[in-house]
Amino acid sequence: MQKLIEGIRQFQSSYVPSHQALMKELSKGQSPRVLFIGCSDSRVSPEIITQSEIGDLFIIRNAGNIVPPFEASNGGEGATIEYAIEALDIQQVIVCGHSQCGAMKGLLQLGELEEKMPLVYEWLRLAEATRKLVNDNYGHLDKKEMIDALVAENVLTQIENLRTYPVIRSKLYRGDLSIHAWVYKIETGEVLTYDSEHHAFCPPNGVKTSKNAFQEPYVAPQSHLPGVTRLPREQCERIYRGSVGVS
């Protein structure tokens, strides 16, 4: 706790005085351009990973970066999504999973959680489609590779759940919304983005991978930066520059 208090003091004595214009602007209201849906894992910090400024990201975090389908949404996730898209007019959504995800490890042993952690069990059941897809199609992988596959496929599953929201479908139909799938690799600080053409994740600097999302990269055009055609260039660079070479 003492470390947090010292951090508050440093924020107030250093950051605030040097960002007076930004603080004044934010006091009038918020206008984030990106909804970031990520995991609650303490090792995943959206602002640090993307080197974003205060006010850039509107964030939802929970165990496993799960988006309950519209019909099953009775908590904060659905309301926050609706508010972000309708009230804040956000036009960019990122769903970000990460390596070594405890929720995905739990998904592999879902039956064991029912008695020990019943609330976690009920929550992870929302990712049952991910579990079955990986069990049925990635059975040849070892445990670590299986978790990697769960992380990646779960991001795509949650994007499908996201599409069940009326406000999302309406904006997508009009072309007013873009959804991006990311995977953050804790061990290297690398961020991979989804390339639907190859069903693979690749770094946002334009280096794609082969069909296996985590092996054998090859060079592709530099234009693979998602969102670059919709966001102001300065904001796009600020959001994505932290995705390359983060240590």
**Could you report the per-residue pLDDT of 16-41, keeping only the tens digit for each?**
999 999 999 999 999 999 999 999 99
CATH of 30-241, one of 3.10.180.10, 3.40.1050.10, 3.30.70.20, 3.20.20.70: 3.40.1050.10
Q: Report d(CA 227, CA 229) in Å as an integer.
A: 5
Does residue 237 register a pLDDT over 70?
Answer: no
**CA-closest candidate to residue 41, choices 64, 58, 75, 59:** 64
Q: What is the mean pLDDT of residues 85-91?
A: 96
Structure confidence at residue 234 (pLDDT): 53
The one-letter code for the residue type at 110 is L
Structure confidence at residue 70 (pLDDT): 92
Exposed, middle or buried by CB within 10 Å (0-12, 13-18, 19+), for 171?
Answer: buried
| Model pLDDT for residues 130-176, shown as the tens digit of each residue | 999 999 998 888 888 999 999 999 999 999 999 999 999 999 999 99
Domain ranges for the chain: 30-241
**CA-closest candidate to residue 197, choices 187, 189, 205, 209:** 209
- pTM of structure: 0.81
